[in-house]
Every structure is written in C-alpha cells, then in structure tokens.
C-alpha cells in the first residue's frame, strides 16, 4: 500500500468516524474549527457569501468537490440557480448527511452524490458550469495537490469559474497577532513546569480536539506549481483564524465593530488580504486557451 493511499484512508476514516459525527443538533465535530459565537456570525456569514460572487449564478451541473455534509446554509446558495448539485467526497458519511440535508430533489434542483477523489474526478472535461472545493485540497497527499487543482479545472466548462478555499501554511497578518499568544503560552508552560503541575513533554490533545492529515502551501507555491499551468487569481475569503477570533473578538470589547472594520479592509484590498491573510479565495477561470490540461 502506498503512503498516498494510507493518507487518504486515514482522512476518510477520520471524517466517517469523527469529523462528520454530530456533537449537537445539526452541529458536527468538524465545526470545532469554526467560530459559531453570535459576535462573529455576521462576519462569518459575509465571508461565506463572498464565494458566490465569483461563480456563475446559473447553469446545469454544479460540483462541490469535498462537499462534506454541506454543513453551512450559505453553501446551498452557490448552486441555487443550477439544475443539479453534485456532491463529491471520499467520506460516505459526508454524502449520506448531505443527502439527508438536501434530498435527491429540492428547490435548488437535483442532488447527486458521488464517492470520489478530488485528485481523480470521475467526470468528463467541461462537465460543470460551476465548481467549488472548500477546505479539502489540504487533506490530500502533498504530491497530489497540484493534480487536484488541474482536475477541478479540467471538469469546468468553457469560460466558467471555480472557487477553491484552503488555508495558507502561514500568514504575515496572523503572525502579528499570534506572537503575543505564543509568548503567553510559553510563559504559562514554564510557570507550570516550575510548580510541577505538568511534565516537560507535549501534552496530549483534549477530547474533541483530534484532527487528521493536513498540509498547506504558500502563494509562491500556488503560482509556481499551479499558476504556470492554468489561470488563477487570489482574492480573500477570510484573513483571520478562528483562534484570532476567539481571543481578540469579544462582545464586550466591540467585537462586532472590530469585525466590520476587518471586513471593510478585506473588501477594499482583496488581493493583499488574500495573499497575506490566512484563507485565500482562489478563482480559476476556464479560458479559451486550450492546453494539455483542458482535454
Ligand atoms: C474540512 S472538510 C470540508 C467540507 C466542506 N467543503 C466544508 O467546507 O464544510 C474536508 C472534506 O474533504 C473530504 N476529502 C478529503 N480528502 C478528499 C479527497 N481526496 N477527495 C474528496 N474529498 C476529500 C473529507 O471527507 C471532508 O468531507
């Protein structure tokens, strides 16, 4: 068995057995990676809506590659004007949950559910008028990230758009804010060691904090490995991490106001915030040029 296969099996098992298990009403374990507090709701909602702006509003088939269970209501809006939404995922539990959520046919058209690997999509070229792949490519074995982008591009119809959201491995904007947190953490660790409350070794994760294989890149990697083969543009999806939100955004400290200012900056400087913030929104537009990846 190759290590690539092992990675995929581990990821699939994680989502089947942990990530897509409900821990509350309509809330999956995976939502621990999101800030669901009321103070952040408006900002998070607006960031989700951003994705729809870059997609063609109508079409025949819409692909959600690595769909999960379509966990946030805003996700449904992206395919509202399409005849069918195809959810593709390696996790069968994700697809069962997605099917329960939207059914085979609903006001958004037909729901179709396919167990598939985003790096080897079982669809013909030009099949989809709209494509999203959100927070998925980072779970693939590193050698397959480029292939996954090319696959999304391959199945996209002529002059249509695909949106990929994935975190960067690091962010200069986030570094400014997380530095004091890191120092604080180190200091606390030292104090605890001194009073012998914990051992010198690494502490084990708390229950509910388990995760799976993730590997991320930076903008240089994306431009070099993918941007030289297919046209892409980097915008911002969300510039800050959940950790940032939980620490710095508090309702009693003008958190909502702070996030409105941040959102304004993201809208004003989408390329800068996309490249230097934590989560870029990557737009692929199928151009008229025919290269070896198109067919
Ligand atoms: C972090 S979740 C994101 C789900 C959804 N896109 C969202 O934003 O809520 C990652 C999803 O990608 C799926 N996934 C991981 N590797 C995959 C692969 N190679 N092909 C297809 N789906 C994959 C997982 O099963 C999981 O459902």
Q: What is the pLDDT of residue 151?
A: 98
Task: State the Cα–Cα distance between residues 164 and 281, nearest whole angstrom.
Answer: 6
Which of the listed residues 28, 72, 77, 136 should we mutate to test ligand 1's pocket, taking the one with most ligand atoms within 8 A of CB? 136
Q: Is the pLDDT of residue 262 over 60?
A: yes
Q: Quote the ligand 1 centre to 11 CA distance (angstroms).
A: 9
Q: Considering only the top CATH level, what class is 3-171+212-285?
A: alpha beta
Strands 156-165 and 279-285: antiparallel
pLDDT tens digit string along 24-59?
887 898 888 899 999 999 999 999 999 999 999 999
Q: What is the pLDDT of residue 203?
A: 52
Q: Is the pLDDT of residue 226 over 70?
A: yes
Summarize the confidence of residues 158-166 as an average pLDDT. 97
Q: Is the pLDDT of residue 215 over 70?
A: yes
List the structure tokens of 122: 């079982």
More confident: 289 or 181: 181
List the structure tokens of 101: 């959520």
Q: Quote the ligand 1 centre to 1 CA distance (angstroms).
A: 22
Q: What is the pLDDT of residue 43?
A: 98
Which of the listed residues 15, 66, 121, 148 should we mutate to test ligand 1's pocket, taking the one with most ligand atoms within 8 A of CB? 66
List the structure tokens of 5: 């296969």
Q: Based on the number of CB atoms within 10 Å of its own CB, is 101 exposed (0-12), middle (13-18) or buried (19 or more)?
A: middle
Helix ranges, 15-104 (H): 38-53, 74-77, 92-102
pLDDT tens digit string along 91-146?
999 999 999 988 877 776 799 999 999 999 999 999 999 999 999 999 999 999 99
Q: Is the pLDDT of residue 71 over 80?
A: yes
Task: State the Cα–Cα distance between residues 242 and 240, nearest whole angstrom.
Answer: 7
Q: What is the pLDDT of residue 196?
A: 66
pLDDT band at residue 292 under the 50/70/90 scheme: very low
Read off φ and ψ for residue 241, nearest 5 degrees. Answer: -85, 165
Q: Is the pLDDT of residue 4 over 90?
A: no
Q: Is the pLDDT of residue 185 over 80?
A: no
Closest ligand 1 atom, CA of 72?
9
């Amino acid at each position: 068995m190759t290590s690539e296969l092992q990675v995929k099996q581990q990821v699939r098992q994680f989502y089947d057995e942990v990530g897509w298990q409900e821990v509350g009403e309509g809330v999956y374990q995976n939502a621990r990676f999101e800030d669901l507090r009321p103070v952040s709701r408006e900002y998070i909602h607006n960031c989700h809506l951003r994705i729809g702006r870059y997609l063609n509003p109508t079409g025949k088939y819409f692909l959600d590659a690595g769909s999960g269970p379509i966990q946030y209501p805003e996700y449904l809006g992206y395919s509202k004007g399409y005849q069918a939404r195809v959810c593709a995922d390696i996790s069968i539990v994700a697809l069962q949950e997605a099917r329960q959520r939207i059914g085979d046919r609903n006001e958004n058209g037909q729901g179709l559910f396919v167990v598939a690997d985003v790096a080897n999509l079982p669809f013909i070229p030009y099949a989809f008028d709209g494509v999203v792949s959100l927070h998925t490519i980072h779970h693939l074995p590193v050698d397959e990230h480029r292939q996954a982008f090319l696959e999304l591009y391959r199945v996209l119809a002529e002059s249509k758009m695909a949106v990929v959201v994935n975190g960067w491995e690091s962010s200069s904007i986030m570094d400014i804010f997380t530095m004091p947190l890191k120092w604080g953490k180190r200091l606390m660790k030292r104090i605890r060691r001194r009073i012998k409350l914990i051992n010198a070794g690494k502490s084990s994760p708390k229950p509910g904090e388990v995760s799976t294989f993730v590997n991320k890149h930076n903008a240089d990697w994306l431009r070099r490995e993918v941007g030289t083969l297919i046209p892409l543009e980097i915008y911002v999806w969300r510039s800050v991490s959940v950790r940032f939100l939980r620490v710095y955004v508090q309702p009693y400290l003008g958190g909502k106001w702070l996030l409105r200012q941040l959102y304004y900056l993201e809208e004003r400087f989408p390329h800068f915030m996309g490249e230097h913030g934590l989560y870029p929104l990557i737009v692929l537009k199928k151009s008229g040029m025919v290269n070896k990846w198109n067919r």
